[in-house]
Structures are given as C-alpha cells and as structure tokens.
A and B are shown apart, each in its own frame.
Chain A
Amino acid sequence: MSVEVQHVNKTFGSYKAIQDVSLKVHSGELVALLGPSGSGKTTLLRMIAGLEVPDQPVNQDEGRILFFDQDVATRSVAERQVGFVFQHYALFKHMSVFENIAFGLRVRPRNLRLSNPQIDQRVKELLQLIQLEGFGNRFPLQLSGGQRQRVALARALAIEPKVLLLDEPFGALDAKVRQKLREWLRRLHEQVHTTTILVTHDQEEALEVADRVVVMNHAKIEQIGTPEEVFHNPASEFVIDFLGSVNVFSGRHFEPSPEAKTDGAKVYVRPHELQISKESLGSASISAQIQRIQRAGTSAKVFVHTNNEQNVRVDVPIHEFQFMDLEVHQQVFITPLQSHVFSPEYTI
C-alpha cells in the first residue's frame, strides 16, 4: 500500500505547520519523518491518518493525500484503515492487555466481525509477535513503558492496517529500552512488511530503523533519501547540522582544497572527518591546541582550540587514539579528510 502526499498545506490560525509538502512512500517501505519539534512532522503524520484535515487546496489536483493512488480526503480515520501508535501509548487503562489488543476486532460491525475463538487466536498470535505471551491478563499500569508500547503496536496491528503510523513511539522511554525496541521494530517490519511511517526527533533512530529518511524543518521537507544519502550527502546546512555533530568553519580561514571556492561560504566538517597529527600535513592543516580529551566511548573526543580562535571537536577511533600519545595543552594540527561546503544564500 503506497501513500502519497501531494502539495499539502496546513495552517493553524496564522501558524503554518505544513507548507507545500509532497512525499511518496512506497508499498512495504519504512520511512522516518525526522525533524526538530515544531517542524511539522507530527502534523503531517496526523493528516495521513485523518486525525487532521489539510487546508483546502487552491487547485483541484493539489493538496491531496493518496492511498494506493486513491484520494482518501473524504475517508474517515476508520475507513483509511491505518494503525496509529501514540507517543504516550494511549492504552485503555481499564482493559487487560488482551482486551486492548482485541478492541479493534470487537468493535467491528457484526457482519464483519470474527468469531470469538478467531479473535482469541489472533490476539494470541499478536502477543507472541510482541513477545508478551502470558501477559494477556495484566493491565497496562502493570507493564513497563517498553512493554506498553509493544502492546500499543500489537493493538494497531490487530486490525491488519494498510499503513502503520508511529508518532514518536519510543520518545517516552529511556535510552537503553529505546535502542532495544528500535532493533525489534526493524525486525518486526521485516516480518510483517506493512507500509510504515515513523515520526521521530532522534536522528540515530531514524538512520538506524528507516529505509528512507525525510528530514523536515520549518514546515518543509529539507531532504528525502536513504540514511546513507542524508548522512553523507546532506542537501543543506540544516540537514548536516541536525544529523549529528559538526564543526563549522568560515571559508576565509579555511580552505579544504585549492579547487573548492570557499570565499564567504561555510565549511562543515564532521568530527570524524578530521585528522589530528603532530606535524602539519600540508596547506589544509590548521594549527590548534588540545583543550580537553574525553575517552569514554568507541572514539575519543578531542576538543581543540584553533589559532584563529575556533573550538573544534575531533573524533579519533579509540584504537588509534591509544597509539597517538595526545595530551591536554599539546600543540597539534587538524586536517579535514572530507568536507561539505554550502554557499551563503544571497538575499536581495
């Protein structure tokens, strides 16, 4: 089931939440909408679900949301057959885990409803899928956050949705649980292959889980691409800045390569794209002094202060760092191995 959004706008009063956004999610794909809060990602998701209505378009063929090439504008949330998972789970507190998952099956009109044994069977399968067999009789308040979110996911999957929409599903969980659930979600997706759209503000989550990442900022899409593309070939300053830490140099002080014209432009270099050495490696090297070294992690983070008064972070893989014999206050050279140049936007 493919989902397509065509030139959609959404305003709340005078606030533009979504501005001329177009997007196509292919059948069976897992796409992450990534952006800071207020970027419009949740609004876009809610419009796809039918929980928000897009602004009335000026042209007929604009402002449309298509499910499998069919306009769903007039279809209600229920008719769209989407599974929606909320950040704070929204489980029914007064129902057992079993009844929560069975809810979508039990509220069907009588002629479409499965028989009770069939519903039992289906719920049992789903409990197995979310690895919570034996938890059917518990109540949501007796579960941990991670377990609750898995129940919410099973509840959404019970109605065999055509599209699965996840709104910051792991946002309320702690780091360790997030990591685990993320991997689990990816494995689950390989199993069920439901077209899935996930909203997150966590770039690691987006890069790790999604087939494609949609980076959003200020109500617009900045870039759409595979995790590799958005990370290694960022389309804008915003994207490179949002997807991990980055050092910013002004072109005047810094010339990554003689051919690149960097006059007035900003040069972005990620911490791992810088090499640190005791001797200069040529004209691209900048002299700097080590301020602080943070060794915990898979790479050592070396914070240096350059001669032209800039603070820069260099990541050195920990096994290399061990042989480098670096100390605080030492004079070193940093050399970019790779860089991203963005010319300033001219305004008239």
Chain B
Amino acid sequence: MSRDSRLSQASRDPKWIQWILIGITVGFVTLFLILPLGVIFWEAFRKGLKTFAIALSDRNARSAIGLTLLATAICVPLNMVFGLAAAWATTKYSFPGKSLLISIIDLPFAISPVIAGLMLILLYGIHGWFGAALQSMGLQVIFAVPGVVLATIFVTVPFVARELIPVMQEQGSEQEWAAISLGASAWQTFTKVTLPNIFLPLLYGVLLCTARAMGEFGAVSVVSSNIRGLTNTIPLQIDALYNDYNAPAAFALASILATLSIITLLAKSWLESKIEHRSKESEEIQ
C-alpha cells in the first residue's frame, strides 16, 4: 500500500517534469549504452557474415575464446564455493574480526584491477616473493595461463559472497535448527533447507561473477603480457586486433563477447523479476 501511495505522490509532479526526466534517462541510455553496443554488431556484420567467419576461424581468436572460457570455468565454481563458505561462516558463526573479514572480502571492488595485476607480479613474478621457488618447480605463473586465472579470481572474489551474506543474515538459522530437530543430517539440512532458500541470490551472484570474469581487462592485461594464441583472453585479443588496424576482426570478436554479456544480463533481469515477485508475494500476505 505504501508503495502505491508513494507512486501516486510522484506521479502528481507536473507533466513536463515527468517528460524531461524520462527523456534524459532514455536519451542517456540510448547515447551511451545502446548506440555503442549497436555499433559493435553493426561493424562486425557490415561486410557480411564472411568476415565474421574468417575472423572467428583465426587460430588466435579461437585460443582467446578458449582461454576466456577456461578462466571463467575455473573462477566461477571456485567463487561459488568460497562465497557459500564465507557467507555461511560470517552469518552462522560469531568470531572475532568477523566484520573486518566481511569488509576485506569487498577489497577487489575498491582496488583498481591494474594494481591487482601488479600485486600478482610482485608475488609470483620472476623477481617476486614466490617467483623463484615456483620457477625452480617449473611452474610459470606470470605471463602464462595460471596468472590469467589468478587475476580473474582476484577481481571476482566478492561477487557471490556479497549476494549471499545479506540474504542469509536476514534468514537467520532457525530453519536449519528446525530441520536438525526434525532429524535431518547436516547434509540434508544444507541441500533441502539452506540451498533452496538461497538459490536465487546464489545464481544471481554466479551470473554477475561470470560476466565480470569474461570481461576483465585490466588485471589480466598486466599479468598476461599479450602472447597471442597463448595468454590472450577475448578482451585482450580484441585490443590487440584493434591495435593491428584489423577493425573487422576486432569487432567480430567484440560482438561475441557482447553477446555473452547480453545473455548474462538477460538471465540476470529474469532472475531479478523472479526475486521481486517472490518478496512482493510475501509482503502482500503480511
């Protein structure tokens, strides 16, 4: 009810104010979001599907797509497990330094990805803290695939945990206690009670994490040194192609990345509408 009254309050603003605000929003979105994204697809398909096919048949492009998918495939499940563990630990247990830990999880949001990349070099680079030891074991991290994966993990750490912590805080542990008192084992409690309750926010976090993992440029760029066909992810390959004045191939690859992102975005808004629907339902009853 309060939502409706607030709405009617707002719609009492003069018509011209309403039109100006709507106009600004739509204009801004068109100019800065839709137009650039459209241009990518336009440029990619301008000379027909043939360029597109050629660009994609390029070995380096395919390697970039492969590496991006690999880094994402490693990073997202890890992030999911970490996010669940972190959310569980910080909402169901109490221990000293808990709120500090929650703030630290957010660190990658605050730190520039370039700095994240540099930190990895300082740690694992050939002159870094662990670099020499790793080198002697025959493991190269920096300027190699492991570095790319590590950088991707670093920048995506907060995504799942951030989505889960507030939801689990709000839910408390009573449902879990109830399940245990009814004879459920710890595993049954987790799979039958906890997981269904946090399923949507978990999926939402995973999607955001996926989008970020695929699109990360800064941190990956620092640790990868752009070896084509080896350590280039899609964003890096696009950058390299563009610098070679191979605009059609760059746009073709860009359109693939953009398509992946759009799919993620659509899935996200579908989920959002579902979550909203759910909470609305509960509001109405109460």
Residues of A within 8 A of B (CB): 49, 51, 77-78, 81-84, 86, 88, 90-94, 103-104, 107-108, 141-143, 152, 155-156, 158-159
Contact = CB atoms under 8 A, between A and B. Distances in A.
5 contacts: A82-B181, A90-B178, A91-B178, A104-B184, A107-B185
B183 A108 contact: yes
Contact of B174 (A78, A81, A88, A141): A88
Given A93-B197, A107-B185, A107-B188, A51 B285 contact: no
Q: Please name the 8 residue pairs, one residue from A and one from B, whose CB atoms are nearest each other, closest first.
A: A104-B182, A90-B174, A90-B178, A107-B184, A84-B181, A94-B196, A78-B183, A141-B282
Contacts of B282: 141
Contacts of B175: 90-93
Given A93-B197, A94-B197, A49 B181 contact: yes
B182 A90 contact: no
B2 to A, nearest CB: 19
A83 B183 contact: no
A107 B182 CA distance: 8
For chain B, give the interface size range: 10 to 19
Contacts of A158: 182
Nearest to B283: A141
A94 B196 CA distance: 7
Contacts of A93: 175, 197
Given A90-B178, A141-B282, A141-B285, A104 B183 contact: yes
B126 interface: no
Nearest to A145: B286
B183 A141 contact: no
A159 B196 contact: no
Contacts of B182: 78, 103-104, 107, 155-156, 158-159
B59 interface: no
Contacts of A141: 281-282, 285
Contacts of B132: none
Chain B binding surface, main DSSP class: helix
Contacts of B179: 92, 103, 107
Contacts of A51: 177, 181
B122 to A, nearest CB: 42
Given A92-B193, A94-B196, A86 B183 contact: no
Contacts of A78: 180-184
B192 interface: yes
Most buried by A among B180, B181, B282, B285: B181
B192 A107 contact: yes
A86 B178 contact: yes
Interface string B134-178: 000000000000000000000000000000000000000011011
Contacts of A92: 175, 178-179, 192-193, 196-197
Interface in B240-286: 281-282, 285
Interface string B185-211: 100100011001100000000000000
Most buried by A among B177, B178, B185: B178
A159 B183 contact: yes
Contacts of A94: 196-197
B196 A86 contact: no
Contacts of B197: 92-94
Contacts of A49: 181
B189 to A, nearest CB: 9
B193 A86 contact: no
A143 B182 CA distance: 22
Contacts of B181: 49, 51, 77-78, 82-84, 156
Contacts of B281: 141
A104 B179 CA distance: 8
Nearest to B199: A94
A148 to B, nearest CB: 10
A88 B175 CA distance: 10
Contact of A142 (B174, B193, B285): B285
A212 B177 CA distance: 28
A91 B177 CA distance: 11
Nearest to A99: B192
B88 to A, nearest CB: 18
Contacts of A77: 177, 180-181
